[in-house]
A = this chain, B = another copy of it.
Amino acid sequence: MFHDLSRLVRADAAPPTSPAYDVRALRWLEHPGYLRARRLLEATDARTLDDQVALTAVPAPPFHESERGRVMAGMMRECGLEVSEPDAVGNVVGWFPESGAWTPGAAAPAPLVVSAHLDTVFPPGTRIEVEREGDLLRAPGIADDARGLTALLALTRAAREAALDFDSPLLVVATVGEEGAGDLRGVRHLFSPRGALRAGCAAFLSLDGAGIRRIVNVGLGSLRYRATVRGPGGHSWVDYGTPNPIHALARALDNLTRVPLPTVPSTTLSIGRWGGGTSVNAIPTEAWVEFEVRSEAEVELSRMDLEIRSILDRVSGSDPGGRGELVLTLDRLGRRPAGGTPAHHPVVESALAATRALGVSPELAISSTDANLPMSLGVPAITLGAGGDAGQAHTPGEWYRNVKGPDGIARALLTLLLLDGR
């Protein structure tokens, strides 16, 4: 998901205005097929919300997305998509039979991909009961990303019933593992040598959460680690001289926070949690810490990974005093590649023009979503909200308000039409 927070809007990114894309977008607004598709989106808005509620009600905890994947695949087939069996990690891939011919793994013609993610952040057993008051829906995962999944279905139905056909193959994909520890494993698999997109794609458009203004064209990369330092421990006085894991880790962490970080590309290091030790008068046997690096640039992540390993490796030491040594374990909890799609790339231009055509002033944004992965591979990718407003994501109080819901889906559809080249 991407958070609706000010730091996510790029200060340097006054969106470009490209008359050519705007002209084409405005022409589409009068196209009978697109007009009919928008009317259908409005007319079936209640059904779209019903779908959103139904999908939210199917639990999809991290690493347990298969049930929701099965339900989603059924709904995709009902919309008329060709849907293959879930892939090795659980992604569901469908495609428009009317669009350019495509089979999984085909190199050409390069497909357009629109996707959303199946997984939520909520653990198994989380109570999910959708509360509904008019156009306000409240439930864990109701927006992130049940809204995106629902938009895939509504977009497909509207495009097919309006007989909008595409020259490019058009793929509709539901991914696993977008959130947290999932570490983008769904989209990672799609672009891997055994994935459906192993031959790449023309553009990758992720629908994640609510909103109609933002266009994420920079993928914030991140590295997450857990470092654990273990030693023999002992009594604070009797065993003094025995290496102390907390002393060693405090030094390493202080050194970490002294590593210079560039502001352009924006890069951060934050220590989130630490723990260890059992008593004020004992040398601990263990100390641990979890920390994170984020950056707009892949090269900074790679540099920081080396810096981190170099600094922490110094903790594991020889044993000059004969009192035992400290042993470091460094686990990488996650690695999200950084990447970006330039503001003047046709994918971004198309989304900007589509947003403006619907009467909304667009904003370029930075976030961490499924689009990070294709961006890091040089595949043009963006992430859009799927209409409506939302808040309290990743909490049990998550809500979605259906304001301009159909317009959000119409924006994604128009972006795809512009990318299809006409």
Given known contacts A244-B270, A287-B274, is B5 in contact with A235 (CB within 8 Å)? yes
Q: Is the CB of A294 within 8 A of B236?
A: yes
Q: Is the CB of A281 within 8 A of B272?
A: yes
Given known contacts A236-B270, A272-B282, is B257 in contact with A254 (CB within 8 Å)? no
Q: Is the CB of A280 within 8 A of B224?
A: yes
Given known contacts A6-B238, A292-B236, is B268 in contact with A272 (CB within 8 Å)? no
Q: Which residues of B contact A104 (CB under 8 A)?
A: none
Given known contacts A220-B237, A240-B268, A244-B270, is B280 in contact with A290 (CB within 8 Å)? yes
Q: Is A273 in the interface zone, CB < 8 Å from B?
A: yes
In the complex the two chains form, what is the Cα distance from A237 to B294 in whole Å? 7
Q: Is A8 in the interface zone, CB < 8 Å from B?
A: yes
Q: Is A278 in the interface zone, CB < 8 Å from B?
A: yes
Q: Is A46 in the interface zone, CB < 8 Å from B?
A: no
Q: Which residues of B contact A236 (CB under 8 A)?
A: 268, 270, 272, 292, 294
A247: nearest chain-B partner, CB-CB? B257
Given known contacts A220-B237, A254-B251, A268-B236, is B246 in contact with A274 (CB within 8 Å)? yes
The proximity string for A residues 202-226 relative to B, scoring 1 for CB distances below 8 Å and 0 otherwise, is: 0000000000000000001010101
Q: Is the CB of A280 within 8 A of B274?
A: no
Q: Is the CB of A268 within 8 A of B237?
A: yes
Q: Is A277 in the interface zone, CB < 8 Å from B?
A: yes
A271: nearest chain-B partner, CB-CB? B246
A291: nearest chain-B partner, CB-CB? B280
Q: Is the CB of A270 within 8 A of B3?
A: no
Q: How many copies of this chain sit in the oligomeric assembly? A: 2
In the complex the two chains form, what is the Cα distance from A254 to B250 in whole Å? 6
Given known contacts A7-B237, A236-B292, A251-B254, is B272 in contact with A275 (CB within 8 Å)? no
The proximity string for A residues 295-322 relative to B, scoring 1 for CB distances below 8 Å and 0 otherwise, is: 0000000000000000000000000000
In the complex the two chains form, what is the Cα distance from A289 to B275 in whole Å? 9
Q: Which residues of B contact A292 (CB under 8 A)?
A: 236, 280-281
Q: Which residues of B contact A246 (CB under 8 A)?
A: 253, 271-274, 289
Q: Is A126 in the interface zone, CB < 8 Å from B?
A: no
Q: Is the CB of A244 within 8 A of B220?
A: no
Q: Is the CB of B290 within 8 A of A271?
A: no
Q: Which residues of B contact A238 (CB under 8 A)?
A: 3, 5-8
In the complex the two chains form, what is the Cα distance from A104 to B271 in whole Å? 58
Q: Is A114 in the interface zone, CB < 8 Å from B?
A: no
A9 to nearest B CB, angstroms?
Answer: 10
In the complex the two chains form, what is the Cα distance from A244 to B294 in whole Å? 16
A359 to nearest B CB, angstroms?
Answer: 28
Give 20 A-B contacts (CB < 8 Å), ordered by A residue. Answer: A3-B235, A5-B235, A5-B238, A7-B235, A222-B281, A224-B281, A236-B272, A237-B294, A240-B268, A244-B270, A244-B271, A246-B272, A247-B253, A271-B277, A272-B281, A272-B282, A272-B284, A273-B276, A274-B275, A274-B276
Q: Supply 19 further A-B pairs (C-beta < 8 A) apart from A7-B239, A277-B290, A280-B333.
A: A7-B238, A7-B240, A8-B238, A224-B281, A226-B280, A236-B292, A237-B270, A237-B294, A246-B274, A247-B253, A247-B271, A270-B283, A272-B278, A272-B279, A272-B280, A272-B282, A273-B277, A273-B284, A280-B292
The 5 lowest CB-CB distance pairs between A and B, nearest first, are: A273-B277, A236-B270, A250-B253, A7-B238, A280-B290
